[in-house]
């Protein structure tokens, strides 16, 4: 039996912002053809392997993402967040991330630094513990591994 067998289950919130419900059909040359449901299945599977219980929410509404973070403030240990377009606009989400007592890892399918100039600025990223981008759907898995490793330290 290894030490990790004794580690407590981690609760991790996974939030997806606007338009990510359309993954698979949305600009597949940029975001690929994997759907959000497939990404969540792969995350759930990896979470089980790593001892992390995941809760998912996709919303096209900024306030709904904020409300879920507030509601889970004292019950989760970390968060993976793809703020999607809100990355580049949302001071409200940045303020919220800074207020959370747990680490938030920002995730992007695409490498935002290799895209339009206005997309290269992440407002939310200023409050994030770390960011993973450019690996397509795999960004989420890399981010989950990183976050769990950090939380188990």
The binding site for ligand DQA (CB under 6 A) comprises: 19, 82, 84-85, 87, 108-110, 112, 119
| Cβ 71 to ligand DQA shortest distance, Å | 23
Largest CA-CA distance found in the chain, in angstroms, rounded: 50
d(CA 138, CA 28): 15
Nearer CB in complex with ligand DQA: 77/90: 90
| Residue with smallest beta-carbon separation from ligand DQA | 84
Nearer CB in complex with ligand DQA: 10/107: 107
Angle at 78 between CA 74 and CA 80, to 5 degrees: 130
Tokens of 114: 């290799």
The residues annotated with a catalytic role in the active site are 31, 108
| Cβ 109 to ligand DQA shortest distance, Å | 4
| Cβ 119 to ligand DQA shortest distance, Å | 5
Nearer CB in complex with ligand DQA: 7/123: 123
């Amino acid at each position: 039996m290894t030490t990790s067998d004794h580690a407590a289950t981690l609760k991790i919130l996974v939030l997806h912002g606007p338009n990510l419900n359309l993954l698979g059909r949305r600009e597949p040359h940029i975001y690929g053809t994997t759907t959000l449901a497939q990404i969540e299945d792969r995350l759930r599977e990896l979470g089980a392997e790593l001892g992390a219980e995941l809760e998912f929410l996709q919303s096209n509404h900024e306030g709904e993402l904020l409300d879920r973070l507030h509601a889970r403030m004292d019950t989760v240990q970390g968060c993976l967040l793809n703020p999607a377009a809100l990355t580049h606009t949302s001071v409200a989400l940045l303020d919220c991330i800074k207020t959370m007592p747990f680490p938030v890892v920002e995730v992007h399918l695409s490498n935002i630094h290799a895209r339009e100039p206005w997309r290269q600025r992440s407002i939310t990223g200023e409050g994030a513990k770390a960011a993973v981008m450019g690996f397509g759907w795999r960004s989420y898995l890399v981010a989950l591994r990183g976050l769990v490793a950090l939380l188990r330290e």
